[in-house]
Amino acid sequence: MSRIAKNPVIVPEGVEVTISGQDISVKGKLGELNLRLVDDISATFENEKITVTPRSQSRFARSMWGTSRSLINNMVEGVSQGFTKKLKIAGVGYRAAVQGSNIVLQLGFSHEIKYSIPQGITVVAPSQTDLEISGIDKKQVGQVAAEIIAFRPPEPYKGKGISHLGQRILRKEGKKK
């Protein structure tokens, strides 16, 4: 039995939940998100709580039970509070700037990289070496952060590159003479 899925999702004030068949719609102060559940999972909304249950005891239904509950919880949390990822840029001459709907990255290449910000995501650059990515969809915020990090992941010798704020980079010793 799934320990995560047994717990109901508590819906805070100001969040509207609509369940019609397999479709779940969550609306809050920050926006609206929709999810279509797998046919083996059912969800009910009573007393400001969303309860997720499997329709059968098949292996697929049991594996999707906890996943569905986590997706619904992320939707409720996203429309009420939102999600934020903070990135740190380390390296001489490495910097980032937000220009309109693009992020302009200078990462030691011969050219600057322009990354267009997807709809529903806001990116702020409080300084030249910091980026804050925020939005209501946890998956989309993480995907944008991963795509930006992929331009120049942190390297183990000098620690140069883009990493999550507070991420510990395993450093290696350089070549000895």
At residue 1, the pLDDT reads 57
Rounded CA-CA distance 160/87 in Å is 13
Mapped onto helix, strand or coil, the DSSP state of residue 170 is: coil
Contact criterion met (CB below 8 Å) for 99 and 50: no
Contact 108, 91 (CB under 8 A): yes
| pLDDT at residue number 177 | 78
Q: Cβ-count burial of 42 within 10 angstroms (0-12 exposed, 13-18 middle, 19+ buried)?
A: middle
pLDDT at 3: 84
Residue 1: half-sphere exposure toward Cβ, Cα within 13 Å? 5
Amino acid at 14: G
Note the pLDDT of residue 2.
Answer: 66
- Length of the chain counted residue by residue: 177
Q: What is the pTM of this model?
A: 0.89
The whole-angstrom separation of Cα 15 and Cα 81 is 11
Domains of the chain, start order? 3-80 (3.90.930.12), 83-164 (3.90.930.12)
pLDDT tens digit sequence for 89-128: 999 999 999 999 999 999 999 999 999 999 999 999 999 9
Which parts of the chain register pLDDT below 50?
none
